[in-house]
Chains A and B, each alone.
Chain A
Amino acid sequence: ETGVTQTPRHLVMGMTNKKSLKCEQHLGHNAMYWYKQSAKKPLELMFVYNFKEQTENNSVPSRFSPECPNSSHLFLHLHTLQPEDSALYLCASSQGDLAGANTGELFFGEGSRLTVL
């Protein structure tokens, strides 16, 4: 496998459920990200990890809980979500966590489409 892989691709959950999104990158990158993408809105940065350490938490509600066990894997644990949390959740990786430093190009996964009922 190459690039950034996200599972599941689609997820439907009730507001009382607990589920997790998984991301895996095979690019040898140090930084990993969770973004939320809603229709016709800019990408919203949620969390950044660099060398497994969280370097950014963009005022995300505690019902979203990230986990980064190593530089290749990133999880987003979900619990007691709200319908407005329905969106596409994108994982990305990069060589460093500074956009614009050494181009800072992001490599994205195809996303997990989340629907909260």
Chain B
Amino acid sequence: GQNIDQPTEMTATEGAIVQINCTYQTSGFNGLFWYQQHAGEAPTFLSYNVLDGLEEKGRFSSFLSRSKGYSYLLLKELQMKDSASYLCAVADSNYQLIWGAGTKLIIKP
């Protein structure tokens, strides 16, 4: 079967760095997405990786290793507003999205 694994919850301190991991086993691969979802709000697109390596976008970076079936989302200079759930999703060989259950990130002052 197809599976996406990510930690259920993480806690970090304001101003610090946190890395949220995502491992996947899917039938084919056509890219990996990260979405951010604040409580009671819509998920919003953060990043898309289809080639190996690191993609940097401001304080957020996303890394992909296709050979390892692994990605991480790196958040730097954490702010209280970064408290949210972070959803990992992989597009399979049919371009259908397989979703992880999300990682709830709690930022403490």
Residues of B within 8 A of A87 (CB): none
Measured CB to CB, the closest approach of chain A to B9, in angstroms, equals 10
Q: Digit string of B1-23 for contact with A (CB within 8 Å is 1, else 0)?
A: 00010001000000000000000
Residue from A45, A108, A109, A111 in contact with B97 in the complex, judged by beta carbons closer than 8 Å: A45
Cβ contact within 8 Å between A108 and B31: no
Given A56-B96, A104-B97, A105-B45, output 20 extra A-B contacts at Cβ < 8 Å: A4-B42, A40-B8, A40-B101, A42-B101, A90-B43, A99-B30, A99-B95, A99-B96, A99-B97, A100-B31, A101-B30, A104-B31, A104-B95, A105-B48, A106-B35, A106-B43, A106-B97, A107-B45, A108-B42, A108-B43
Judge if B91 is at the interface, Cβ distance under 8 Å: yes
Where the two chains meet, the residues of A that have a C-beta atom closer than 8 Å to any C-beta of B are 4, 40-43, 45, 56, 90, 97-101, 103-111
A selection of 25 A-B contacts at a CB cut-off of 8 Å is: A40-B101, A41-B101, A42-B99, A42-B100, A42-B101, A42-B102, A43-B87, A45-B96, A45-B97, A90-B42, A90-B43, A99-B89, A99-B95, A100-B31, A100-B50, A103-B48, A104-B31, A104-B97, A105-B33, A106-B35, A106-B97, A107-B45, A108-B43, A109-B42, A110-B41
Residues of B within 8 A of A103 (CB): 31, 48
Judge if B27 is at the interface, Cβ distance under 8 Å: no
Measured CB to CB, the closest approach of chain B to A109, in angstroms, equals 6
Cβ contact within 8 Å between A110 and B95: no
Residues of A within 8 A of B41 (CB): 110
List the 7 closest A-B pairs by CB distance, nearest first.
A100-B91, A100-B30, A100-B31, A98-B95, A108-B42, A42-B99, A99-B91
A43, A106, A107: which has the most chain B beta carbons within 10 Å? A43
